Chain A
Amino acid sequence: MTQILTATAEAEQDFQASFAKLIAAPTESPFSNAAMAFCAELSQALFRADMKDRPEVHALAYWCRPAEVTRLKSSFAELATGHTILAPRGTVFHVPPVNVETLFLYGWLYSILCGNRNVVRISSRSSGLTTELCAIVGAVLSHYPELERINMAVRYGHDDQLTSDISANCDVRIVWGGDETVRALRRVPMAPTAKDICFPDRYSYSIVAAAAYVASSEEQKRVLARAFYNDCYWFDQMACSSPRLIAWYGSDEESLVGSKIFCNLLASEVAAHQYSTEAAVRSNKLLFSSGLILDQAVDGYETYGTELTVLRLKDLTTLAREHCGGGLLLSVNVPELSSLKEIVQRRDQTLTYFGFDHQQIKAFAGDLNGRGIDRIVPIGQALTFNRYWDGYDLLQELTRRVWMQ
């Protein structure tokens, strides 16, 4: 069944008619006053919704508060040149993942700010939180008629026709949700002038300078453990940017000492947050770990409390990128950065770090030369969504650059 989640009671409920109206309506100017005001009001509404057990909603509210959006507006202005301006692409079809509820809003908000029309496909398998968020967005949108008429979230199940119709009539399609979803959507044709922005399955890891970590204060270590906990556990370690592997850079001894301290502190954070998975997740984690022990250069299996399992790898030569999530961390010692660089591949997305300065990070990225890793951020920032994601600049991708001479 098709259900428009953002429409107010008196508004059109029939999808085909609403969609026809939407694509006939004019786009907005990028960073229009209405879009800026909408973001500010949405930020307040999200803070007010007070989802204390949902830190990711809090993060989203923080992200779209006025100060942040104003900053974004000025960086957008910097993109224009004397001979080019940036204009909306037109209609953007968003196909977000089912399980990371807030992610669809980031992409959507960037697109609203760029002035585009938006149709957001909400899966019929999506959670209650997604519906709640849509209701909040819908309520705020209703205060901005010029935005409301060009924005729509629609919930539908397995409906190829609907996906085809929207795809045929959009200018940009943003597909999240992994390789299978991307493959499935790529088979659905779009207009020749339209483009896909795809976010397939990715793999992410961390690197910690062992000596710097061991030398850091107890308080710094605790802060780092908390930051890592957020990166790792907010989305059951299944967000594409959640770290699944931690590489300790330094001597064997420093790495082992550092790693033991770190894992114990991380386990304390896990316990303090009362993070808990279901029995089936633990059963699967045990099975997955057993498989890795057979297939990879694993030489240690450790459990810290009930929700953190650590598998120690001898080296990275056998690293495969499948992962079960739910608190399984691979740990490896890299005496030389080159042994990490060597294994980087296209699928690798986010490298979170501790104990490196900007020069070192820049040199590391320069050496990779785009082979893999699209984000290098401090530990704690893995899930912090911004315009630069998976190698794209979303502000650039969601607008067209018009050349004038």
Chain B
Amino acid sequence: MQLSRTYNPGVMTLDELMHARQYSLPQEQKERLLLEHLNVLTAQHRAGCEGYDRLVRILHHDASAAATLADIPYIPVGLLKTHELRSIAPSEVFRVLTSSGTTGQRVSRVYLDRATAMLQSAALSKIMIHVLGPERLPMLLIESPTIVSDRTSFSARGAGALGMMNFGRAHCHALDEHMQLQLPRVMEFLSRFGGQPFLIFGFTFMVWAYFYQHIKGIGLDLSNGTLIHSGGWKKLIEQSVTNDEFKSAFRRDTGLRRIYNFYGMVEQVGSVFLEGEDGYLYPPNFADVVIRDPMTWNELPPGKPGVIEVLSLLPQSYPGHAILTEDLGVVEHIDGNTCGRLGKAFRVLGRLPKAELRGCSDTHAAGVSA
């Protein structure tokens, strides 16, 4: 990968980190390697992005080279919604990713150059191969064909689905544009490929509401499938569906046992945290998480829930190598090796609960509007 050239010769280049077996590095060694690369990224983004440089100087008190992962100068994720942060010239922008958001909500804008976009797909591939194997599998998407037909608008969902489509072949879209399950299509897919390993991908809530709910009673055999899903648990938690219930329901009603959730965001595409067989999420070799105490923003030890910061070596074109999210999480153990994976095993506990401050100004006037 051409970008490896920008790094000082270290113990392992980014390229080598990506090619090494994922989840194989003990935390101490991994942090040492990540730090070296992250410090280079900090310097690179300070030089290329004036806003990030200001934040490092003022918010992080001109942090010198970080000695721990927690020292890397991070940005709050919401800043990508309000400010244009990029470390490349406008002419180098290859693609702008936007987060999903309801109407009226501000969306994140993530500026990619060609190299970062390539890194992202290469990285995702290293992670997925770990559970899917090197072969492209027949792929059932719990999506409508329209989500990816318009390739100029890269919504988070579209980009996510499109990114995942690289890992499959003979794609079959299980839904129509009205989110209706197209059962004949699914049956046909299964009759052709159901007897061999195949891949199912979709967003967690859609998989549950638009797929599982309609097939649970009809005895589909998905036992050769591997389901990869993402997008958050908010809607399912509202329906009291936990990850355990999600998995046992599929296992009971369809025989599907290989189910992997992942945690990722448009602000760090490609750098996803995939679930292990023990149910915990694991950072790949080129990424990590730090859990921070919202009282002090200091790092919390394993077992203490706090706000998740995500670190990644992929963002070369925008200062997103250290991002403080608005999600709560907890590191359960480090190098516990409970499913053959080393490093931090963590769980996502949901979004920071919204808080309403007092004050004279009603933030939303819906209650009195005419």
| A interface list, Cβ under 8 A from B | 95, 97-100, 103, 121, 123-125, 157-158, 160, 163-164, 176-181, 183-185, 187-188, 199, 201-202, 235-240, 242, 277-284, 286-287, 289-291, 293-294, 298-301, 306, 325-326
Contact = CB atoms under 8 A, between A and B. Distances in A.
Given A98-B367, A188-B370, 12 more contacts: A99-B356, A99-B360, A158-B367, A158-B369, A178-B365, A184-B370, A238-B360, A238-B361, A279-B295, A279-B353, A286-B297, A291-B82
Interface string B33-72: 0000000000000000001001100110100000000000
Given A280-B352, A282-B295, A180 B362 contact: yes
A23 B362 CA distance: 29
B353 A298 contact: no
Interface string B347-365: 0000011111111111111
Contacts of A100: 358-360
Contact of B357 (A99, A177, A283, A287): A99
B357 A301 contact: no
Nearest to A127: B358
Given A95-B368, A98-B367, A286-B324, A306 B358 contact: no
A270 B336 CA distance: 41
B273 to A, nearest CB: 20
B355 A278 contact: yes
Nearest to B306: A279
B360 to A, nearest CB: 4
Contacts of A202: 360
A303 to B, nearest CB: 8
| Range class of the B interface residue count | 35 or more
B340 interface: no
Given A283-B326, A287-B76, A306-B296, A178 B361 contact: yes
The 6 tightest CB contacts between A and B, nearest first, are A238-B359, A178-B361, A279-B294, A180-B365, A184-B369, A278-B355
Contacts of B366: 158
B5 interface: no
A290 B79 contact: yes
23 contacts: A97-B360, A99-B356, A99-B360, A100-B358, A100-B359, A100-B360, A157-B367, A158-B369, A160-B370, A178-B363, A179-B361, A180-B362, A181-B362, A235-B360, A239-B360, A278-B353, A279-B294, A279-B295, A281-B355, A283-B324, A283-B352, A287-B76, A301-B61
Contacts of B361: 97, 177-179, 181, 201, 238, 240
Nearest to B328: A279
A123 B367 contact: yes
A152 to B, nearest CB: 17
A99 B358 CA distance: 5
B190 interface: no
Contacts of B82: 291
A185 B359 contact: no
A282 B370 contact: no
